[in-house]
Amino acid sequence: MTIGQPVLEVRGLRMSYGPNEVLHGVDLQVCRGEVLALLGPNGAGKTTTIEILEGFRKRTGGDVKVLGVDPGHGDEAWRARLGIVLQSWQDHGKWKVRELLHQIGLYYTPYSKPYDADELMALVGLTGQARTKVALLSGGQRRRLDVAIGLAGRPELLFLDEPTVGFDPQARQEFHELVTRLAETDTTILLTTHDLDEAEKLADRIVILAGGRIIVEGTAWELAKQVSGKSEVRYRLNGEPEVHSVDDPAEFLREALAKDIHDLEVRRVSLEDIYLSMVAK
Looking at residue 223, its pLDDT comes to 76
Q: Are strands 205-210 and 35-39 parallel, antiparallel or unpaired?
A: parallel
pLDDT at 73 over 90: yes
Q: What is the CA radius of gyration of the chain?
A: 22
Could you tell me if 148 and 120 are in contact, meaning their C-beta atoms sit under 8 angstroms apart? yes
- Taking only the tens place, the pLDDT of each residue in 253-263 is 566 555 666 56
Residue range 17-36: average pLDDT?
93
pLDDT score recorded for residue 11 = 97
pLDDT, residue 161, reads: 85
Q: What integer pLDDT is reported at residue 258 of this predicted model?
A: 57
pLDDT at position 115:
94
Q: Give the DSSP H/E element, type plus range, for residue 61.
A: strand 61-66
Largest distance between two CA atoms of the chain: 76
Are the C-beta atoms of 160 and 150 separated by less than 8 Å?
A: yes
Q: How much is the pLDDT for 43?
A: 80
Q: Answer yes or no: is pLDDT of 46 > 50.
A: yes
For the stretch 165-192, pLDDT in tens is 777 788 788 888 888 888 888 889 999 8
Residue 1 has what pLDDT?
47
Residue 101: φ, ψ to 5°: -65, -35
Q: Which regions of 211-260 does DSSP assign to beta strands (E)?
A: 213-218, 231-237, 240-246
pLDDT band at residue 250 under the 50/70/90 scheme: low
Q: pLDDT (tens digit, 9 = 90+) per residue, 97-150?
A: 999 999 999 999 999 999 999 999 998 889 999 999 999 998 888 888 988 999
**Count of Cβ atoms closer than 10 Å to residue 279 Cβ:** 17
Query: Given a cut of 80, is residue 89 above it in pLDDT?
Result: no
pLDDT score recorded for residue 253: 57
Stated pTM of the model: 0.79
Stretch 32-58: mean pLDDT, rounded? Answer: 90
Amino acid found at 168 = D
Distance (Å, rounded) from C-alpha 208 to C-alpha 49? 12
CB 154 within 8 A of CB 112: yes
User: Exposure pattern of 233-245 as b/e (b: 16+ CB <10 Å)?
Assistant: bebeeeeeeeeee
242-262 average pLDDT score = 62
pLDDT tens readout for residues 179-225:
888 888 888 999 988 777 888 888 999 998 888 889 888 887 787 66
61 contacts 27 by C-beta, under 8 angstroms: no
Spatial separation of the C-alpha atoms in residues 99 and 115, rounded to whole Å = 13
Write down the pLDDT at residue 229.
54
What average pLDDT does the chain have? 84
Residue 47 has pLDDT above 90, yes or no: no
